[in-house]
Structure 1
Amino acid sequence: MTQATPYKPKYKVRIVTAAALFDGHDASINIMRRIIQSTGVEVIHLGHDRSVDEVVNTAIQEDANAICLTSYQGGHNEYFKYMYDLLKERGAEHIKIFGGGGGVILPSEIKDLMDYGISRIYSPDDGRAMGLQGMINDLVEQSDFAIGDTLSNELNILPTKNPKAIARIISSAENFPDVAKATLDKIHIKNKASKTPVLGITGTGGAGKSSLVDELVRRFLVDFPEKTIGLVSVDPSKRKTGGALLGDRIRMNAINSPRVYMRSLATRQSNLALSKYVNEAVQVLKAAEYDLIILETSGIGQSDTEIMEHSDVALYVMTPEFGAATQLEKIDMLDFADLVAINKFDKRGSLDALRDVKKQYMRNNNLWDVHQDDLPVYGTIASQFNDPGMNTLYKAIMDKLVEKTDSVLKSTFEISQEMSEKIFVIPPSRTRYLSEIAESNRAYDKTASTQVEVAQRLYGIFKTIGSVGDVTLSGVEKAFIGKQGLDQDEILKLVQDDKKDFIKMLIAEFDRVKLNLDPYNWEVITGWDEKVNKYKNPIYSFKVRDKEIKIETHSESLSHLQIPRIALPKYQAWGDLLRWNLQENVPGEFPYTSGLYPFKRTGEDPARMFAGEGGPERTNRRFHYVSAGLPAKRLSTAFDSVTLYGNDPDLRPDIYGKIGNAGVSICCLDDAKKLYSGFDLANVMTSVSMTINGPAPMLLGFFMNAAIDQQCEFYIKENGLEKEVEAKIAKLYKGKVRPSYNGELPEGNNGLGLMLLGVTGDLVLPADVYAEIKKNTIAQVRGTVQADILKEDQAQNTCIFSTEFALRLMGDVQEYFIENNVRNFYSVSISGYHIAEAGANPITQLALTLSNGFTYVEYYLSRGMDINKFGPNLSFFFSNGIDPEYAVIGRVARKIWAKAMKHKYGANARAQMLKYHIQTSGRSLHAQEIDFNDIRTTLQALYAIYDNCNSLHTNAYDEAITTPTEESVRRAMAIQLIINKELGLNKNENPIQGSFIIEELTDLVEEAVLLEFDRITERGGVLGAMETMYQRSKIQEESLYYETLKHNGKFPIVGVNTFLSSKGSPTVVPAEVIRATEEEKQFQIKTLANLHDANDTKALLKELQVKAINNENIFEALMDVCKVCSLGEITSSLFEVGGQYRRNM
């Protein structure tokens, strides 16, 4: 395909770009906004998870020509139509709407949306036909029209703060100064009496000005509940193309308020920090009678002081990283600024920087008599929620505004005298933890190699003794080798007299060399025959948690051969044996390269099937369908995007369209009870996995309470208390609607879990009985909650709380697990799957995932937790693929983890075991020739099973185009069953051990991961690397590399870019699309309304906030709060004490 030439716009085109609400898939929109910008457009980028209201407000305030959106998470019909309706309602129907969503948006839906008035929805086939630049040319050309070439009644309605009128006058001033002149003249006359203060904020690029402005706005809105604020933010234009990235809004959470107006301006001139129309924008906001105006410049050099001409009070924002103190003498703004903020005060050398800047400020302003503590220089960490330094800076700014302008904005904001201090997740002294792990693991390998050489030399001496002495000493099984070494007396009895002296010399040399061999390694060598015999015997016995387990070691083939479940090497040389034992070993022994347990569990295949759609009842039916006839119930839960982002169902169209789509809708405890009804959650054969991250603690609270109430139900039935309990529930719900299961129970559902809908066991049973049931239940439940917040920030974007607060929640869950003996449930599933799905190659997936895992280890250790108590609660989740490295991803992960946990952290055997779930690659599911997807999935499943994964999910072949059908799910399940039950080689449980290529790949991948650990260390560890978006950038680069090779055909994909059908293998349109029904959505909304009617939750939510503020365990409080509060209520409540996630570009 020939690359299209970028279209050259005739007018200054402004386009708002974003990903839809509850949608973290921002890779596509990031690519699109880059190409749009390089086509000469001013792009206002909002990032992922944006509501229709936010996007429409932005488009109107920014006077945009168009909105460009991606929507990959369902609900697109309602989302786009609601946006069109809202624009029309607000008199902005001239703003065009463009969108895309891959194969998620069906051709029939594209036609319907475009008939409704959406300018264009691009399909995958459009992408193939037009190319990326071709699509962008099309949307830019359609958006290339004049804005601000006429003015009418805008001036008269300015005092009403009409955003459309404000925006239009500013656009007219920018684009058609002659048209705007008369209006602006009147504004200047009117503004002579204006007392609106202007705060100018300037500083170096990357100083965190946007985050700092957002924090100032948030405090202003709290401080002055009736006042309004206007923002003007300037970003540089690209000299070559004329395009601009106006990216300040992406970092701001507080501005989506009716009391805030924001306008982003491009400089439209090179080498200057301000637009030449910035004064007009400020004057328009003054005429609109805003109470405070903030003007923020783009990043400036040392000599730029232009902002002083437009502001009453000037704030200069810098970082501690300015170099030598003499550099401060070159910064002009230190002569003029009223206040200075040293942001990112958590950086090394911050206190020295504060001292140096204060000295320079004192010298520049001749403030020799002022105490340093009273100088207007402040350390701040704007990225940290409720930062004391930000509080102090805000109060100082407001006081300075009153002092210099006679403003009425007298602040009553309360501050403490604390200085900004970073709340470290990882202590600074531990920043090198990943390189320390790499060094420790390499040291183990080096020691192992040295020991192997010693063992090999000993074997050589040993064989020489046999040869010279003409004595048969083959193998290590002979009695001549005792625990301490060679038995000289026994050997000499068998040797001729003329050779005895020489033999004595060899034995002495043997003893001398053996001094260099670790006693443990001598035991490995001398114990080898015993180990071999254990696997040759018909029955192998071992202990798990003090329980003896006996296992048959062989199975019989149809040809009546005895197939060993574990095959051992036939090495004779001690060095070879030792190397194999130290680097490979049998399953169940350190370093666990080939598996965690001596044998696979019988009666429970590793199959774990993913389900989630509609309301809890429909997913409950699917769970019973996929687990029918299976002795082990391994349920894996997908949640809808409303739940993933911690929200409640709502009638608002951009939320309503997503209820129950691409996952199950769960907003309260009763939903969880219905979801898992009919499955005994405390049964050892039941295991539940929940794919949820941001609001994971709340969903875990729902799950635990559902499990507890099931056991209360057993107690009620066993003790004949049904009538008594029913009477209590009836009394509690007198005059109220009682929750119920919507529809018939599916086959296999005995109704367990539904008796106590609407109440919890503590309301109907004595306190001591309930406490005992609770204690026993949470110690028995098996399963996993994903809850991996680091991966979310790096790849998947379902973070909802500030990173520090989210990590604290994770730590609180783990602490609760330790204190309450929750041994069988994993508090986190450290996930590489979404890293791979975002585009990372297998080595990057593994390296980033393990580095995240070790970061949790360091964090939990810093909180004083015992590694042997939290280590077993950690689990992992990887993606699979067809790349060669995927053949060894599990064994390398187990090996690195075990060596580090044992030798670096001193953990016990149970904590050394890396347990992982693996899922076949979603990225390798293609929307062309979808039948071929099952072939790819089968090969990936084979990799996973041969590598001894702990559980496996096989994707359905049609997942590339729709939610899987029952037929496709059955086929996906059959892939695993055929491998596990029919494939002969899989009767052996270590089939890839001993393969030369597997051993080579293991070494290559292991070293590549350790090198990546070192690269992350250079960037300050995982959290330091996240600040510079190292992981995210790396993932995007690798994604682009793959897509480029796929696009140009250098990476062949059968049925996609090679071996095409006679019709060209077009994108397949699904025959059946599974979406939530109107009845299901309405039932969820009614469930929520009834929950709110039945419970007064204000006191409980307030108590939760108080515990969070007082640094008590939040999850302990959530276990009670989750009984009566909805998910959205809890999320909103925690936002107020923990802070919202701040998006990155």
Structure 2
Amino acid sequence: MQEVYTPKNKVRIVTAAALFDGHDASINIMRRIIQATGCEVIHLGHDKSVEDVVNTAIQEDANAIAMTSYQGGHNEYFKYMYDLLQEKGAGHIRIVGGGGGVILPSEIKELMDYGITRLYSPDDGRELGLQGMINDMVEKADFPTGALELPEGKDVYQSLEDKDITTIARLISLAENREEDFLKAFDFDKVADKSAPVLGITGTGGAGKSSMVDELVRRFLIDFPEKSIALVSVDPSKKKTGGALLGDRIRMNSINNPRVYMRSLATRQSNLALSKYVEEAIQVLKAAKYDLIILETSGIGQSDTEILDHSDASLYIMTPEFGAATQLEKIDMLDFADIVAINKFDKRGALDALRDVKKQYQRNHNLWDVNPDEMPVFGTIASQFNDPGTNQLYKSIIDKVVEKTGADLKSSFQITKEMSEKIFVIPPSRTRYLSEISENNRGYDVRANAQRDVAQKLYGFFKTIETLSGKTPTISQHGIDISGTDNADLVKVLLAEFDKLKMNLDPFNWEVITTWDEKVNKYKNPVYTFKVRDKEIKIQTHSESLSHLQIPKIALPKYEAWGDILRWVLQENVPGEFPFTSGLYPFKREGEDPTRMFAGEGGPERTNRRFHYVSKGMPAKRLSTAFDSVTLYGNDPGHRPDIYGKIGNAGVSICCLDDAKKLYSGFDLSHPATSVSMTINGPAPMLLGFFMNAAIDQNCEKYIKENGLEAEIEAKIKAIYEDKGLERPRYNGDLPEGNDGLGLMLLGVTGDQVLPADVYAEIKKNTLAQVRGTVQADILKEDQAQNTCIFSTEFALRLMGDVQEYFINQNVRNFYSVSISGYHIAEAGANPITQLAFTLANGFTYVEYYLSRGMDINAFGPNLSFFFSNGIDPEYSVIGRVARKIWAKALKNKYGANERAQMLKYHIQTSGRSLHAQEIDFNDIRTTLQALYAIYDNCNSLHTNAYDEAITTPTEESVRRAMAIQLIINKELGLAKNENPIQGSFIIEELTDLVEEAVLQEFDRITERGGVLGAMETMYQRSKIQEESLYYETLKHNGTFPIIGVNTFLSSKGSPTVVPAEVIRATEEEKQFQIHTKENLNKINEQQAESALEDAQQAAVNNQNIFEVLMEATKVCSLGQITSALFEVGGQYRRNM
């Protein structure tokens, strides 16, 4: 056990993950250890800009900033942070950080030479241990704060009136740390205007106070564009260590505004809701002439009345879950609070709670002559964007503050009388949907087993009759028959018993038995014929080995007993038949292996070249696109250093339609052999709009060429740009081999600007029906595991629903509107069962949501796809077959879906977690085994990771090796010529049953927590993933779980972490070109963009289909413009711990 450093001073540290970086697991671990080391931690969460972090550190008078950065751009990020602190006179604040192997040793040295206090590497972690690193960091930050340095020529009171943030922050620290010095520096009696009103907010822990404060601040800033607001938020200190988690800022999106000041205080005493120095902090803020001061206390239960000593008006926040109405009599604040908010008003019993609290308020305040309905008690859902109850609460608060203090805060905020009503994603009556699926699927298994028993007994009769009669009975759809036999009387009795027993067998199952021999023969015949969407397909059923043996593509069991046959058909069956356990289609598509390769780096041109390289010679073009973190978070490239450093790193930079056109140029996006996958979630509807419009404009280009209109169209485009004096967009550099320029003719314009409206409409209609591919767009998984959410969850789900509705209306049948992803759940640490259970649960949640919107399951079912990781745990060998089986049983028997909707299509990517930075050559061995699992289990498409991805962006050489893994299995491996090689294995069947039941049990656990969305509220999924991750890491660290070349079978050098010789990063030219492209777009489309953004906002407000409007907006707007516009009407994502 490492010794814990004890700080000599009260050390305050701001913790966060860098901008456009969702990797928050390590910073969460670090901030816990920092707190346990006795520090006060102001935690901001993930995706934080330098300005946001620096402003926080100055407002909080922090000793240090501790950052993690795993998404590239760290050189620019840390240097910008250092420069900004110097510029703002806060150079004393230490900067520490880490980023695993992402930050190279040479970069660590360069940044520390620049002035960064310390950056920790993986080797530091191994040498010092976690506590050792934190000890080192805290020791570096252990110095007294609060030294006053006033602006030149100004005294303390002038500095406060100017709202000098440093002066305000340091005075509050002085009060906390050196009271005598504070009293010398500041005399409240000398403050001329002490009239700033104070609103005290308190309530029970977990009532959503931070979210409510954020919503009140947001409304205040809109209501009073010229006024300022200050917040003092108090959280409890730990008695044992003296540390504190000051976590209110993580929930707040509105406070990074020059008109807002926030200070977090620790109580620095146990069992009290307030700090001793709250009054001093309020005095300082009154002297700074803030127009409203909010004091929020930690929730410590039923006695929070201390806050009344410091506030002019008070708000008490509670939830409906207070127990019996008599409990209300114990809450002191209900005697004194001016206003009460019952937050989380979507909880069960909320209306009864509202009635009870209003009556208690009436009794406590002796308001017997006033109608209870007029009591200032409001039902609110602070987490819901533009919640009507929160609007009413805000207006009531401001009016009460004015009434009690005479403050100059005349509100013009518009409110409606409607009550807070949860906009339910899943109707409350449907919250048991996962357990209903468990019951349905278990019921199917019970029936299947019962039918198997009946069939087995019937077979017993059949064989007995055959033996007694000396003849084989004839089998027909009506039963069995036999004539002219020995033992005729006994046979007659047996036939009667047979017929009686057969009445217990489902007619469908009798047909299975009677047609079994015919089915077996179909696969023995040289050619098998079947239909896909009315198209007849003929397939050779065997391949010939080098030894001249005929190897069957589908091998069937040799069962004779009817019960065995029936059980196999009901639970396994051949590929292409329900329950699709062994595959979705009778045979694999010939000439198109399931290979799908991932690319994304630099600008669109560089990734376009990579796409042409990886698809060279491939009959099918399956393009998977990785986007840079700027794009993943819905932003535009820009010059600001914390954005600039991330442009085109770890993914491709795409911010507008022209980028999409260049990215996919030279690939016919409407060709049936072209399929595009886009790994994007938060801003998925916008990227989908760019892609669809790029595909439409490609077909406009074909039309122009076919009709010899090139010269005419060129003249039109030239005129558009010459009129505005702007340069036309272009492809940066030479076209790669294989790129014929398709898609580049209409750069800078769209087809509807240069072609007649009717021609364009027909091309658009046909294109939408032809394009093939997938957009990830799985927002539930983002909240649970990956953190690239940008909009509030409800709004993000609404956008997903709008995309699916548009797909149905426009007959988009070959493009998946969502890729329901387990991959990122697994990468975050979940084991294979949890990955599968959470992913399927998310899938069924989308089904329920789309059904609640009135969509037909047979219309949207085929647009859903799935995405799993493949590790080397035993359960991964059956992950696909179990997924197909559970989905098919539920969709057919519970939802009544047709066969196409019953088919669960999924993509596999080999595990990123199993790529280790030690002995990286061994990674290809693991990847090969995982690819074998995937191919044997009939995945629909497969991406094999490159061995060097653990340390860098893959090179052309490593990508070629990764592709070779699939090619060798598909082309060379003899057993892979058979398409159901794992069927019939005892262990595979046993694993299938075990995993299926484990998944159904997890469904029941999620149901107990209110379904997927209810479980997300309590962070059930996140916690479970973190627990499983910790379990794996512990076993890996202590060697209990052997990993070759990592913790056992080490090389003679000890298998050190490999440092890449070079790291592929976006060039300065690429970054500048991307910024220029975006700026040029904004200039050429300035007026059209403004109108398109207004249309998108109106569609959101009026409950119209937003994606339909985004299809137009994506023609003229950049990604960041659309994201910002939708934030105003849909709400921003609110982070969790």
TM-score by length of 2: 0.99
Aligned mate of 1:580, from 565, 568, 574: 568
Whether the aligned pair in 2 keeps the contact of 1:1046 and 1:1057 (CA below 8 Å) is yes
Residue 452 (structure 1) aligned with residue 452 (structure 2): yes
Q: Distance in 1 between matches of 2:584 and 2:636?
A: 40
- Matching of residues 132-211 of structure 1 within 5 Å: 132-148=130-146, 154-184=156-186, 186=187, 188-191=188-191, 193-211=193-211
2:1110 corresponding residue in structure 1:
1118
Aligned mate of 1:940, from 926, 930, 939: 930
Aligned mate of 1:99, from 97, 100, 115: 97
2:505 corresponding residue in structure 1:
517
1:879 corresponding residue in structure 2:
869
Report the more deviating stretch, 832-841 or 365-374: 365-374
Residue 823 (structure 1) aligned with residue 846 (structure 2): no
1:63 corresponding residue in structure 2:
61
**Letter aligned with residue 1055 of structure 1:** G
Q: Distance in 2 between matches of 1:398 and 1:313?
A: 10
1:358 corresponding residue in structure 2:
358
Residue 541 (structure 1) aligned with residue 539 (structure 2): no
1:507 corresponding residue in structure 2:
495
Report the secondary structure of 1:268's partner residue: coil
Whether the aligned pair in 2 keeps the contact of 1:151 and 1:179 (CA below 8 Å) is no
Which consecutive segments of 4 or more residues in structure 1 shift more than 6 A?
none
Q: Distance in 1 between matches of 2:148 and 2:221?
A: 34
Q: Distance in 2 between matches of 1:787 and 1:6?
A: 44
> Deviation string for 1:285-331 (max 9, x for gaps)?
11111110000000122123000000000000000000000100110
Whether the aligned pair in 2 keeps the contact of 1:149 and 1:175 (CA below 8 Å) is no
**Letter aligned with residue 695 of structure 1:** P
Whether the aligned pair in 1 keeps the contact of 2:148 and 2:171 (CA below 8 Å) is no
2:217 corresponding residue in structure 1:
217
> Deviation string for 1:865-897 (max 9, x for gaps)?
000000000000001100000000000000000
**Letter aligned with residue 898 of structure 2:** N
Residue 424 (structure 1) aligned with residue 410 (structure 2): no
1:1098 corresponding residue in structure 2:
1090
> Deviation string for 1:1087-1122 (max 9, x for gaps)?
011101101211111111111110110000001110
Aligned mate of 1:78, from 76, 79, 84: 76
Whether the aligned pair in 2 keeps the contact of 1:23 and 1:49 (CA below 8 Å) is yes
Residue 492 (structure 1) aligned with residue 490 (structure 2): no
> Aligned-pair distance for 1:342?
0.3
> Aligned-pair distance for 1:481?
1.1
> Aligned-pair distance for 1:36?
0.8
> Aligned-pair distance for 1:155?
4.7
> Deviation string for 1:643-670 (max 9, x for gaps)?
0000000000000000000000000000
**Letter aligned with residue 1100 of structure 2:** A
Whether the aligned pair in 2 keeps the contact of 1:698 and 1:1127 (CA below 8 Å) is yes
Report the secondary structure of 1:415's partner residue: coil
- Matching of residues 310-709 of structure 1 within 5 Å: 310-471=310-471, 473=472, 480-487=474-481, 491-493=482-484, 495-496=485-486, 499-709=487-697
Whether the aligned pair in 2 keeps the contact of 1:155 and 1:165 (CA below 8 Å) is no
Q: Distance in 2 between matches of 1:925 and 1:979?
A: 20
**Letter aligned with residue 84 of structure 1:** Y
Whether the aligned pair in 2 keeps the contact of 1:211 and 1:252 (CA below 8 Å) is yes
Aligned mate of 1:1000, from 973, 983, 990: 990
> Aligned-pair distance for 1:154?
4.6
**Letter aligned with residue 283 of structure 2:** Q
> Aligned-pair distance for 1:164?
1.2
Q: Distance in 1 between matches of 2:610 and 2:955?
A: 10
**Letter aligned with residue 679 of structure 1:** F
Give the fraction of aligned pairs with identical amino acids, expressed as a percent.
Answer: 82
Report the secondary structure of 1:300's partner residue: coil
Q: Distance in 1 between matches of 2:930 and 2:299?
A: 49
> Deviation string for 1:29-55 (max 9, x for gaps)?
111111111111111000000000000
Aligned mate of 2:15, from 14, 17, 32: 17
- Matching of residues 91-130 of structure 1 within 5 Å: 91-130=89-128
Report the secondary structure of 1:540's partner residue: strand
Residue 760 (structure 1) aligned with residue 754 (structure 2): no
Report the secondary structure of 2:407's partner residue: coil
1:5 corresponding residue in structure 2:
3
Residue 718 (structure 1) aligned with residue 718 (structure 2): no
Report the secondary structure of 1:50's partner residue: coil
**Letter aligned with residue 686 of structure 1:** T
Report the secondary structure of 1:340's partner residue: strand
Whether the aligned pair in 2 keeps the contact of 1:154 and 1:166 (CA below 8 Å) is no
Q: Distance in 2 between matches of 1:136 and 1:214?
A: 31
Structure 1: runs of 5+ lacking an equivalent: none
1:1054 corresponding residue in structure 2:
1044
Q: Distance in 2 between matches of 1:542 and 1:649?
A: 50
Q: Distance in 2 between matches of 1:325 and 1:253?
A: 35
Report the secondary structure of 1:594's partner residue: coil
> Aligned-pair distance for 1:920?
0.3
Q: Distance in 1 between matches of 2:148 and 2:687?
A: 53
Whether the aligned pair in 1 keeps the contact of 2:781 and 2:839 (CA below 8 Å) is yes
Report the secondary structure of 1:848's partner residue: helix
1:959 corresponding residue in structure 2:
949
Report the more deviating stretch, 597-606 or 299-308: 299-308
Whether the aligned pair in 2 keeps the contact of 1:246 and 1:265 (CA below 8 Å) is yes
Whether the aligned pair in 2 keeps the contact of 1:190 and 1:287 (CA below 8 Å) is no
Whether the aligned pair in 1 keeps the contact of 2:884 and 2:903 (CA below 8 Å) is yes
Whether the aligned pair in 1 keeps the contact of 2:315 and 2:338 (CA below 8 Å) is yes
Q: Distance in 2 between matches of 1:189 and 1:661?
A: 56
Q: Distance in 2 between matches of 1:242 and 1:266?
A: 9
> Aligned-pair distance for 1:130?
1.2
> Aligned-pair distance for 1:1041?
0.6
> Deviation string for 1:648-693 (max 9, x for gaps)?
0000000000000000000000000000000000000000000000
Whether the aligned pair in 1 keeps the contact of 2:11 and 2:62 (CA below 8 Å) is yes
> Deviation string for 1:1013-1050 (max 9, x for gaps)?
00000000000000000000000010011111111111
Whether the aligned pair in 1 keeps the contact of 2:67 and 2:96 (CA below 8 Å) is yes
Q: Distance in 1 between matches of 2:164 and 2:27?
A: 30
> Aligned-pair distance for 1:1072?
2.0
**Letter aligned with residue 329 of structure 1:** E
Q: Distance in 2 between matches of 1:574 and 1:40?
A: 71
Aligned mate of 2:796, from 806, 811, 820: 806
> Aligned-pair distance for 1:470?
2.8
Aligned mate of 1:916, from 871, 891, 906: 906
RMSD across aligned positions (CA): 0.8
TM-score by length of 1: 0.98
1:1017 corresponding residue in structure 2:
1007
> Deviation string for 1:523-554 (max 9, x for gaps)?
00111000000000000000000000000000
Whether the aligned pair in 1 keeps the contact of 2:193 and 2:289 (CA below 8 Å) is no
Q: Distance in 2 between matches of 1:262 and 1:190?
A: 24
- Matching of residues 966-981 of structure 1 within 5 Å: 966-981=956-971
**Letter aligned with residue 897 of structure 2:** A
Figure out how many residues of one structure are paired with residues of the other and give that number: 1129
Report the secondary structure of 1:283's partner residue: helix
Q: Distance in 1 between matches of 2:409 and 2:712?
A: 62
> Aligned-pair distance for 1:148?
2.2
Whether the aligned pair in 1 keeps the contact of 2:819 and 2:866 (CA below 8 Å) is yes
Whether the aligned pair in 2 keeps the contact of 1:68 and 1:97 (CA below 8 Å) is yes
